[in-house]
Structure formats: C-alpha cells, structure tokens
C-alpha cells in the first residue's frame, strides 16, 4: 500500500465512496465525531455520506437530538452521537480544561465561580428549556455573574466539558443549549480503559488507515494515551507498515471500493470544507496530495474555506455565494482539467445544489 492506496481506503472508510448511510445519526456514529464549528459545512459533510439527504433533513435530525453538537476533544465544536457524548467528555475534557486554564485565569473564572455558573445554567435550562446564548447571558447576569463576550463563551464551554449542557434545537437561525441529562438519558459509565479502547476502534473504523499520531491529534489525547488505546484494541485492528510508518485500520473498514465513475467515488470529485473529516482528522496529511499543494493551501490563510478533491487528492479550492435564487460555485483547480474531471465536478456541484434545494451555477476561477 502506498499514499494513493491510503487515500482510496480512506475514501471508502469515510463513506465518500459507494457505501453510504441512511441517517445522519448513522454517519456520526460511524465516524465517531464530525467537526462542526462551521455548522452549514458540517451538515454538508453529513449529507455527502448519506444515500439521499437534504440540508433540511440533517437540520431536523440535529433539532431532534439524534446528533448533538458540543465542545469536545481538541477543542472545537463537534457533532457526536448521544450514546458517545458522556464517555468522550470523560476521556478528553481534562486536557481541554488544561488548555483553557490561562484564559480562565485571565477572565477571572475560578472553580468556585464556575460551579455557581453551572448551578445557574442548570436552573435556567431545567424542564426542557432550550435557551440561546443571549438568553443564558441574561440568566447568568440575574445571578450576579458577568457573562458576556469571551467570558460567556468560556462559561458555556466549561459547562459542556462538565457534561452539564449540550446543543438544543435551533430557534430560527439561533443556536440553543439544553441540559444533557434531559437530552440524553444516563447510561452505565465506561471504565477509562473501556472508553479508550472503544474510541480507538471507532476512529480507525471510520478514518483508517491512520497512525497513532493521527488518532492523538484527532482525539485530543496524548500520544501515550493514543498508543495505550491502540494497545487495548489490538485484537480488533490490523497493522501495516507503509514507507516506514505504522498504520492501523479496522478489518470492518475499507468498505466497497470507491466508484471511479461516480461523483464522490475514487475517480470522482468531492467539494469538501477544509474542516471535513477527510481533511482535518490526520496529523500527517501527506496522503492528501503533493507537498506543493499543501503549502499552497497553507499560504491562503483564512481565505481558505473549501477544497476540491479529485481521485482522493487535493486538486484545487472552491467558494460558494448563496442567493435567494440559487447558489454560485467558483472552482479554482490546481491543474488543467480533463473532460472527465469537469464532468465529475459538474455532478458534484449538482449534488450540492440538490442538498441545499437550490439551482447551481458553476464556473471556474483563476
């Protein structure tokens, strides 16, 4: 197996080939977690991995609590399955809190004050109340706790890490929070070793082949913890040495071969967010394409939002402009496109428009 084979296996295991799921919950459960700070892009990431889906259907699953959104792992917002959220917070919250410690000191949020915040939030959200940030800010202020701007953001994140709160259904375009215990019934907690081994198996099932350092990066665990998790899962994982590096994958992965003639397949086109699991879930991103292409992307800084994938390899960037009448996609390829590649991009753009329920206009930019 070489880097090209790694890319093809990852396409299949990440549900970007012919093998798809039927519900948003099944996609998130398979992948373990889906990075979701860009909510619209995260919904598309799920939609691409479903047999048929629309933005509205993924949003409906989110509002119903079939998938939850919370700060976890690195940390940033992720979609998680309800059955995973407590175990993953128990595994990774300690390191996230350690990373937040200096900012908490700067914001004068010590343990005693955060406990007061937790009590105020629990009271505000009790009995199925789903409140926006602005509404929660008012409730905290009423409890004589200053809670605006970054201070509010870190108060809410800490409550998420405590497994006290999580996402509620949206109110129009606004996000809300809910009590986790009301959103997800409590279950038997896993032991630390059970949770470690289970999380490793889930990662390599939906992301393999990958290295221990990739799992550590994705999960927010230390490399030693990641290696321990793999050790606990060795009976369920396959090991392979590629170019001197050790890769792990699940024997239940590598699904059907990506369909070379179908958009989203091995030889097709993918219109991905930079935060899609295919791009973001690895410390070593060498399988994504030539070093010059990766350096070109890095040089774009914050201007980079989305990438074009052809045959599993980064081949350009794309941008979208939404309007009431439709969506305009501007694709900037890194090489002169062949006819088959243009056809694959056109099909991928059409699929994106169908997901949004909008007509698509596609053009190529420099």
Pairing type for strands 33-35 and 76-80 reads antiparallel
pLDDT of residue 284: 95
Instruction: Assign 356 a pLDDT band (cuts: 50, 70, 90).
Output: very high
Return the domain boundaries, the chain.
Answer: 3-183, 269-364
pLDDT tens digits, residue range 189-225? 899 999 999 999 999 999 999 999 999 999 999 999 9
Q: Are 84 and 34 spatial neighbours (Cβ–Cβ below 8 Å)? A: no
pLDDT of residue 75: 86
pLDDT of residue 265: 39
The structure tokens listed for 145 are 């706790």
Q: Report d(CA 319, CA 342) in Å as an integer.
A: 16
Mean pLDDT, residues 298-302 taken together = 86
pLDDT tens digits, residue range 4-23? 789 999 999 999 998 999 99
pLDDT tens digits, residue range 250-289? 986 554 444 433 333 345 899 999 999 999 999 999 999 9
Q: Report d(CA 26, CA 32) in Å as an integer.
A: 10
Using DSSP, state whether 54 is helix, strand or coil: coil
Return the higher-pLDDT residue of 301 and 320.
320
pLDDT tens digits, residue range 104-161? 999 999 999 999 999 999 999 999 999 999 999 999 999 999 999 999 999 999 999 9
Q: Is the dihedral of CA 175, 178, 183, 184 positive or negative?
A: positive
CATH of 269-364, one of 1.10.1740, 3.40.109, 3.40.630, 3.30.43: 3.40.630
pLDDT tens digits, residue range 29-70? 999 999 999 999 999 999 999 999 999 999 999 999 999 999
Q: What's the predicted TM-score (pTM) here? A: 0.94
Q: Report d(CA 280, CA 276) in Å as an integer.
A: 6
Instruction: Assign 299 a pLDDT band (cuts: 50, 70, 90).
Output: confident
Q: Report d(CA 44, CA 40) in Å as an integer.
A: 6
Helix axes 212-219, 192-207, angle to 10 degrees: 110
Mean pLDDT, residues 64-80 taken together = 96
């Amino acid at each position: 197996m070489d880097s090209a084979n790694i890319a093809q296996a990852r396409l299949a295991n990440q549900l970007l080939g012919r093998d798809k799921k039927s519900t948003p919950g099944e996609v998130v459960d398979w992948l373990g977690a889906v990075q979701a700070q860009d909510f619209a892009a995260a919904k598309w990431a799920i939609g691409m991995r479903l047999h048929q889906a629309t933005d509205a259907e993924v949003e409906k699953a989110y509002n119903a609590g079939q998938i939850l959104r919370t700060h976890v792992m690195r940390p940033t917002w992720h979609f998680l399955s309800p059955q995973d959220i407590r175990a993953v917070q128990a595994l990774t919250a300690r390191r996230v809190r350690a990373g937040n410690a200096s900012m908490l000191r700067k914001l004068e949020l010590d343990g005693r004050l955060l406990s007061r915040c937790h009590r105020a939030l629990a009271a505000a959200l009790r009995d199925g109340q789903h409140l926006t940030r602005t509404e929660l800010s008012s409730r905290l202020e009423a409890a004589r706790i200053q809670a605006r701007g970054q201070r509010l953001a870190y108060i809410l994140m800490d409550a998420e890490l405590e497994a006290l709160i999580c996402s509620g259904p949206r109110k129009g375009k606004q996000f809300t929070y809910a009590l986790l215990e009301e959103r997800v019934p409590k279950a038997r907690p896993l032991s630390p070793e059970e949770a470690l081994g289970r999380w490793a198996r889930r990662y390599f099932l939906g992301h393999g082949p990958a290295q221990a350092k990739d799992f550590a990066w994705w999960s927010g665990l230390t490399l030693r913890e990641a290696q321990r998790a793999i050790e606990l899962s060795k009976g369920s994982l396959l090991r392979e040495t590629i170019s001197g590096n050790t890769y792990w994958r699940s024997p239940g992965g590598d699904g059907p071969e990506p369909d070379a003639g179908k958009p989203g397949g091995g030889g097709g086109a993918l219109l991905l967010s930079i935060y899609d699991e295919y791009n973001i879930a690895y410390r070593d991103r060498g399988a994504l394409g030539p070093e010059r292409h990766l350096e070109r992307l890095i040089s774009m800084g914050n201007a980079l939002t989305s990438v074009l994938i052809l045959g599993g390899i980064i081949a350009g960037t794309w941008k979208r402009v939404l309007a009431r009448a439709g969506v305009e996609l501007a694709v900037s390829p890194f090489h002169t496109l062949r006819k088959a590649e243009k056809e694959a991009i056109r099909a991928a753009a059409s699929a994106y428009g169908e997901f949004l329920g909008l007509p698509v206009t596609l053009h190529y930019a420099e």
